[in-house]
Amino acid sequence: MPHGFFTVEQWKLPQDSATPCWIPILHLDAYQSLTKAMAALEKRGEPGLYRVVQMQRCVWAEVEKGNLRLHGSHASSPENLAKIVEIFERESGRRPVEKAWQERAAAKAKRARK
C-alpha cells in the first residue's frame, strides 16, 4: 500500500467575498491512513464540504540534454515536502545528483566497515 501524508481541506467562501477555495485544515503524517483522516475529521464535528488529499510523490522535472527528465521522490510529511522545495530553490531547479551519489557511496562504505 502506498504511503503519503494526508491533507484535509475544507471548501470555504472567504469573508471578503473573493473566490471560494479549498483551505487546508488538518495534516496527518505518512504513518496514518485514510480511515484515521476520516476519524480526525469526524472528531472535529464541523459540518461542511471536505476533501482528503494524499500526497505520495513529489516530481522534480528538469531539462537535461534537451529532454525533460522526471525524478520522483516520496513526500512523507509537509515538512519533508518543504525540505524538497528548499533544495529545489537552493539548487536553482537542478537536482544535486552528484552530491547524492557521494553521500550514498559514503553510507555504503560506512555499512561495509561494520
- Full pLDDT tens readout for the chain, 114 residues: 456 788 899 998 877 767 888 899 998 887 888 888 899 999 999 999 999 888 778 888 888 889 998 888 887 788 888 888 898 899 888 887 777 778 888 888 888 887
Strand partners, 74: 57
Torsion of CA 44, 53, 87, 102, to 10 degrees: 110
Identity of the amino acid at 55: M
**In the chain, beta strands by DSSP E:** 5-12, 21-28, 50-55, 57-64, 67-74
Answer for the pair 73, 84: CB distance below 8 angstroms, yes or no: yes
Q: What's the CA gap between 37 and 39, in Å, rounded?
A: 5
